[in-house]
Amino acid sequence: IDFPEIVPYGISTDAGWGCMLRSAQMLLGQTLRMHFKDRHWRPPQALGQKRRDTFLRQLMVWFADFPSQNESFFSLHNMVAAGLAKYDILPGEWYGPGTACYVLRDLCQIFEEHQKKENLLTKLDRKMFRVYVAAQGTVYRDEIRDLMTRDCKVKRKKPTNKPPQGPLTHPLDPQYTANQKAEDETEWDTSMLLLVPLRLGLKSFNEQYSVALAQVFGMKQSVGVLGGRPRGARWFYGATSDGAKLYALDPHTVQAAPVRQVTKTAGGGVRQVIALTENYLRSFQTTNQETVDLKRVDPSLAVGFYCENRKDFKDLCNSLLAWKHANKAAPELFAVSDSVPDYSANVSSAMDEMLAMSVSAESLEESGAPGRSDEDEEYVLL
């Protein structure tokens, strides 16, 4: 509560509407932890050590509730701005898991562009990961390859006026296959956060997916599930083996917003920085977990995976495939496909051929088939 007002809507609290965005921040925070540290990293317990920890300090600045273009990239204000600009969601309106995923993607892209513009890798000295949101419950490898090797392709692409040497390759040419394989094995520019929005049921959660959802948390790439109960978002980080219950963190604890304080710069000037007060430092951690019955979970949710590199993504796909083969009777949560279907393919020639065949058949019926008389016709009385 009491964060800087979201202008011009007069909103200074997210109570009653911001739980999905807060849950998305939890998922993103776990991903940042795995990216810049590792899954097993734990923040120091003493307040003095927390203030001196580079990663924790950076994290608290990134999530501080202030509108900012170069500091608090993942603040509630920036999330709301992205939701309004691209997805027509007004401040104070409730977000679904799918929209929250796209907001995270947009903010992470802004963060990466800021890194390039300022020619820095942050104090943590590592390039920001990219976010891929799988639409329609399908992960396409070619889209991921294009996204994650974007910088490599720009470096390799050199304009030239020389005509191509040799004949052009086609999909049946062995050279074409070799080129595709080399492109698939190109190392990624950075790591990836994979988000898959899903709807596992109509009005209530379809329990046929319970075991499939539970196995997601056991994968090393998992960063949890964004979802919750109807009109009450949660970040799920674990589940029982049968999927009957999920373990979650609840964002519905109202806390005071962080504040800024004035400090002196090395050049003798002054600037405002996020104050790492005791209350703000304590607000980032909780020992209170919630156990949620799967039957009460809203069917609309999003699963998240952090893949450090291309090999890690391949391992994830293999794990999903192995589980599918071992549980053939259970429905899979989402599909992984090699390429996006080409819906723009020209089918006019095929349609013309079908029409021509249809016309020929009609002409044959009218003229009568050779060697067949009217007496051979069979009739059925209706």
What pLDDT band is residue 265 in, cutting at 50, 70 and 90? confident
289-307 pLDDT per residue, tens: 899 999 999 999 999 999 9
Tokens matching residue 117: 């513009």
Measured distance CA(260)–CA(273) in Å, rounded: 5
Amino acid, single-letter form, for residue 115:
Q
110-146 pLDDT per residue, tens: 999 998 887 766 667 789 999 999 999 999 999 999 9
φ/ψ bin of 28: left (φ > 0), alpha (ψ from -120 to 50), beta (otherwise) = alpha
Q: Which residues contact 208 (CB under 8 A, 6 or more apart)?
A: 330, 331
More confident: 122 or 197: 197
Cis peptide bond prior to 8, omega within 30° of 0: yes
Q: Are 131 and 105 in contact (CB under 8 A)?
A: yes
42-52 pLDDT per residue, tens: 999 898 999 99
Q: Among 135-144, 283-292, 338-347, whose mean pLDDT is lowest? A: 338-347
More confident: 171 or 213: 213
With a threshold of 0.75, does the pTM exceed it? yes
Average pLDDT over residues 172-178: 52
Indicate whether 157 pLDDT > 70.
no
pLDDT of the residue at 264: 84
Indicate whether 148 pLDDT > 70.
yes
Whose CA is closest to 105, among 134, 136, 69, 72?
134
Measured distance CA(113)–CA(121) in Å, rounded: 11
Indicate whether 160 pLDDT > 90.
no
Q: How far is CA 80 from the centre of its chain?
A: 18
